[in-house]
């Protein structure tokens, strides 16, 4: 199982909306997904109550000590992907989630205040030596501010821009908030829209970063082998039954 954590110091960065969008994009790509909510504000839980489909489970976990054993249980159950939405600021629960993540996504709007607020989250990810990437979220459609923000984040992380800033950038559009209010993901609310294209592109970028395509291929191979074994077993049983009937 892979665990993705969305975390940042500043509120209003769009963590919950991104978590929902990525969860549905991953599910549509064939992965089994669990959304985990460590934010007592309950944005994901409220979204699930508005949702009619039961294909995505939102599981609240508010105590830091419960995060590691629950992730272990989910991994043992065969779940492929856990996406953790955290509260603004730093807390014991957020730190625990980052500590056990395979990738920490740090959303940031392209403003000085938002970029400065990523520092504490970046420090935690580095302290636990966890992979991280920034997601520039709620960006204008175009403008120099975006390039400046991306460059600043790369300098802050002292890494190559292509590695540290996820692509594509997520543009500010009403589709994201409208889908949240309807209990949907943006890919369900506007399946042919630009926002959906960006979220799916972001999921592909993450999947490539975590090498999930190889994991999905291996899973498919295992499923094919299991199915073939079941067919052979059934064929053997049928042949034995026929032989017994013939002898009788």
Place of tokens 């014991």: 92
- Alpha-carbon distance of 91 to 156, in angstroms, equals 22
Q: Is the pLDDT assigned to residue 144 strictly greater than 80?
A: no
pLDDT tier for residue 230 given thresholds of 50, 70 and 90: low
The secondary structure of 52-91 as a DSSP string is ---SSEEEE---HHHHHHHHHHHHHTT--EEEEE--SS--
In words, the CATH class of domain 2-210 is alpha beta
DSSP annotation of 8: -
Can you state the angle between helices 64-76 and 92-99, rounded to 10 degrees?
Answer: 30
Classified as helix, coil or strand, 105 is strand
- Alpha-carbon distance of 189 to 51, in angstroms, equals 12
- Alpha-carbon distance of 138 to 130, in angstroms, equals 25
Delimit the domains of the chain by residue range: 2-210, 212-248
Classified as helix, coil or strand, 107 is strand
Task: Tell me the pLDDT of the chain averaged across its residues.
Answer: 85
Percent of the chain whose predicted confidence (pLDDT) is above 70:
77
Can you state the angle between helices 174-181 and 43-50, rounded to 10 degrees?
Answer: 70
- Say if CB 26 and CB 33 are below 8 A apart: yes
pLDDT in tens, 62-86: 999 999 999 999 999 999 999 999 9
Q: Is the pLDDT assigned to residue 229 strictly greater than 80?
A: no
pLDDT in tens, 105-128: 999 988 888 888 898 999 999 999
pLDDT in tens, 186-214: 999 999 999 999 999 999 999 999 998 64
Q: What is the pLDDT, as a whole number, of residue 219?
A: 46
Distance between first and last Cα of the chain:
51
Q: Is the pLDDT assigned to residue 243 strictly greater than 60?
A: no
Q: What is the pLDDT, as a whole number, of residue 162?
A: 56
Mean pLDDT, rounded, for 211-227: 54
């Amino acid at each position: 199982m892979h665990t993705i954590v969305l975390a940042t110091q500043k509120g209003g960065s769009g963590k919950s909306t991104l978590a929902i969008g990525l969860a549905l994009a991953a599910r549509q790509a064939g992965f089994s997904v669990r959304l985990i909510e460590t934010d007592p504000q309950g944005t994901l839980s409220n979204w699930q109550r508005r949702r009619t489909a039961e294909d995505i489970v939102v599981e609240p976990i508010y105590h830091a000590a419960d995060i590691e054993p629950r992730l272990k249980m989910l991994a043992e159950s065969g779940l492929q992907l856990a996406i953790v939405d955290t509260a603004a600021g730093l807390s014991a629960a957020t730190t625990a989630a980052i500590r056990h993540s395979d990738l920490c996504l740090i959303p940031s709007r392209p403003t000085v205040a938002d970029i400065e607020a990523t520092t504490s989250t970046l420090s935690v990810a580095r302290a636990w030596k966890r992979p991280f990437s920034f997601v520039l979220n709620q960006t204008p459609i175009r403008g120099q501010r975006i390039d400046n923000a991306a460059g600043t984040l790369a300098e802050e992380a002292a890494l190559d821009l292509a590695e540290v800033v996820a692509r594509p950038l997520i543009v500010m559009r009403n589709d994201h908030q409208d889908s949240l209010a309807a209990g949907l993901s943006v890919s369900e609310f506007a399946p042919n829209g630009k926002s959906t294209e960006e979220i799916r592109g972001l999921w592909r970028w993450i999947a490539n970063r975590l090498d999930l395509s190889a994991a999905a291929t291996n899973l498919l191979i295992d499923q094919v082998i299991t199915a073939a074994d079941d067919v052979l077993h059934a064929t053997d049983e049928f042949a034995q039954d026929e032989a017994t009937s013939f002898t009788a």
